[in-house]
Chain A
Amino acid sequence: GENVEQHPSTLSVQEGDSAVIKCTYSDSASNYFPWYKQELGKRPQLIIDIRSNVGEKKDQRIAVTLNKTAKHFSLHITETQPEDSAVYFCAAFGGKTSYDKVIFGPGTSLSVIP
């Protein structure tokens, strides 16, 4: 089945710096790649997503890039703030083995140090 890997598992940055989280997927037919943010003690929530027909998408301080050839995609957070501290999950969807189910990566715990 689909396998999603995510790196790093933990990340600490100074407030104002950028943070980058990378994910790889195994099913070349996957065509939708969402990112979820989970604050401590809360539920995961979608923050941004990208479809296979585009290479980059931006929403204010966050952006996602996709390289379908290499089967990897990345989340970029610029000008990080303490409220960005959370666990971030990437996911792949729509492939031959995960046509209609969201398979999450293992997560990255981001800490933004004031």
Chain B
Amino acid sequence: DAGVIQSPRHEVTEMGQEVTLRCKPISGHDYLFWYRQTMMRGLELLIYFNNNVPIDDSGMPEDRFSAKMPNASFSTLKIQPSEPRDSAVYFCASSLQGNYFEAFFGQGTRLTVV
């Protein structure tokens, strides 16, 4: 397996534009997490899914953020409209349920909103 795959790796967009980040989890994993990383706030959990169903979106900062998981092999995180303070590295991670499990991270998407 190629691991968790995110696209794009880098995204530069103008304030007000819509941004869509994509994630393909590891095949067979039943959990998918979206994290945002900044120097000030570290790794923040935005939302996570179990078997494609959103379980907890309490970390989503505003209504401008939305996430979907239409099937087991694909998820998107959308920001509309984007703002400069959304600039960060966004990580997707997947894991397999058990009593204890490891979260495997994608390479991340570095988002810059100008």
Which residues of A approach B to under 8 Å, CB–CB?
1, 31-32, 34, 42-46, 49, 51, 89, 93-94, 100-107
The smallest C-beta distance from A96 to any residue of chain B, in angstroms, reads 14
Chain A neighbourhood of B48, CB < 8 A: 100-101
Interchain CB contact under 8 A, B45 and A32? no
Listed by A's residue number, 17 A-B pairs whose Cβ atoms lie within 8 Å are: A31-B99, A32-B99, A43-B91, A44-B43, A44-B91, A44-B105, A45-B105, A46-B102, A49-B102, A93-B100, A94-B99, A100-B31, A100-B48, A100-B97, A101-B45, A101-B48, A102-B103
Q: Mark B16-39, 1 if CB is under 8 A from A, else 0.
A: 000000000000000101000000
A-B contact count (CB 8 A): 50
Interchain CB contact under 8 A, A106 and B42? yes
Interchain CB contact under 8 A, A46 and B103? yes
Considering the chains assembled together, what is the distance between the CA atoms of A94 and B48 in angstroms?
A: 15
Within 8 Å by CB of A89, from B43, B56, B107, lies: B43
Chain B neighbourhood of A42, CB < 8 A: 107
Which DSSP category, helix, strand, loop or mixed, fits chain B's interface? strand
The smallest C-beta distance from A84 to any residue of chain B, in angstroms, reads 19
Which DSSP category, helix, strand, loop or mixed, fits chain A's interface? loop
Interchain CB contact under 8 A, A101 and B56? yes
Q: A32-B100, A100-B55, A101-B33 are in contact. List 17 more A-B contacts (CB 8 A).
A: A43-B107, A44-B105, A45-B105, A51-B100, A94-B99, A94-B100, A100-B50, A101-B45, A101-B48, A101-B55, A101-B56, A102-B45, A103-B45, A105-B42, A106-B42, A107-B42, A107-B43
Within 8 Å by CB of B42, from A1, A32, A93, A104, lies: A104
The smallest C-beta distance from A53 to any residue of chain B, in angstroms, reads 11
- Nearest opposing residue in chain B for A34, CB measure: B102
Chain B neighbourhood of A45, CB < 8 A: 105
